[in-house]
Amino acid sequence: MRITRDSDIEGAPVDMEGAKHVVKKILIGPEHGSHDIIKRLFHISPGGHTPYHTHDYEHLVKVQRGRGVVVDKDGTKHELAPGQNVFVEPNEKHQFANPFAEPFELTCTIPNPGK
Amino acid sequence: MRITRDSDIEGAPVDMEGAKHVVKKILIGPEHGSHDIIKRLFHISPGGHTPYHTHDYEHLVKVQRGRGVVVDKDGTKHELAPGQNVFVEPNEKHQFANPFAEPFELTCTIPNPGK
């Protein structure tokens, strides 16, 4: 068993093309012993966004703090707030963005791609 | 893409031996299209607890609300609050309990056992 605390984990800026003002923390990952699943926390500052992209694994997202939007494969924006969850299918185009004035935080859980 | 809202999902009492005052919601699961991972929300009322048990899949837990404890394989209790995460290894004995006066809520993400 491993217990981690969000505030003790060092974040790293997401340095991908199309990402802006996004910091990622690994809340639970292989370094804590997990094998099948990885849980990440994304902090998106006002004006920031993740890439509008696709990948071959599913996303299970839970909003933790603030407000933001998810952009679906058709380019439609859906506003998000705490208490909401987003499932993104493998190979489905998506983007998370923060057009608001407060930080937007979400957890994003994925199958371990290194498994 | 599927967007779900915790408050729109109907909870079901956990009817397992050793469980008390626990309600489970499937936030994202196969019924929403997920294949590899299932995200559940557990609401543990004051005085309630999950079974002190083991199973062959890992748990990735995030505290959402209130306070509670996790009991490890040695019987040691670790207090939990929002901002904390718990990784439980496959086949590691564990229990989540709420000895406090307010509701305790956590998400628990698992590999899809039906995969």
**Tell me: the pLDDT tens digits for A91-106?**
999 999 999 999 999 9
Q: How far apart are CA B96 and CA B79, in angstroms?
A: 10
Q: With respect to residue B4, please indicate whether it lies within any of the assigned structural domains.
A: no
Residue B42 is predicted with a pLDDT of 98
Q: With residue A21 as reference, give the H or E element that holds it.
A: strand A20-28
CB A88 within 8 A of CB A61: yes
Q: Name every chain B residue with its beta carbon within 8 A of the beta carbon of A113.
A: none
Q: With respect to residue B1, please indicate whether it lies within any of the assigned structural domains.
A: no
The 3-state DSSP class for residue A71 equals strand
Bridge partners, A104 (sequence order): A44
CB A62 within 8 A of CB B39: yes
- Residue closest to B6 by CA, chosen among A86, A43, A89, A108: A86
Query: pLDDT tens, B30-69?
Result: 999 999 999 999 999 999 999 999 999 999 999 999 999 9
**Structural domain of residue A17, as residue ranges?**
11-111
Q: With respect to residue B98, please indicate whether it lies within any of the assigned structural domains.
A: yes
B107 touches chain A (CB under 8 A): yes
Query: pLDDT tens, A58-75?
Result: 999 999 999 999 999 999
Question: Between chains, do B85 and A7 touch, taking CB under 8 Å as contact?
Answer: no
Cα-to-chain-centroid distance, residue A58: 12
Q: With respect to residue B6, please indicate whether it lies within any of the assigned structural domains.
A: no
Q: With respect to residue A105, please indicate whether it lies within any of the assigned structural domains.
A: yes
Question: Between chains, do B36 and A57 touch, taking CB under 8 Å as contact?
Answer: yes
Q: What is the DSSP string of B55-70?
A: -SS-EEEEEEES-EEE
Q: How far apart are CA A3 and CA A81, in angstroms?
A: 26
CB B41 within 8 A of CB B107: yes
Q: With respect to residue A6, please indicate whether it lies within any of the assigned structural domains.
A: no
Q: Which residue of A has its CA nearest to B31?
A: A87
B76 touches chain A (CB under 8 A): no
- Average pLDDT of span A43-66: 97
Q: With respect to residue A1, please indicate whether it lies within any of the assigned structural domains.
A: no
Domain count, chain B: 1
- Residue closest to B1 by CA, chosen among A33, A82, A99, A71: A71
**B102 CB-near residues (< 8 Å, 6+ apart):** B46, B66, B67
Distance (Å) from the alpha carbon of B1 to chain A's nearest alpha carbon: 5
Residue A115 is predicted with a pLDDT of 76
Residue B47 is predicted with a pLDDT of 98
CATH code for position A65:
2.60.120.10
Q: With respect to residue B66, please indicate whether it lies within any of the assigned structural domains.
A: yes
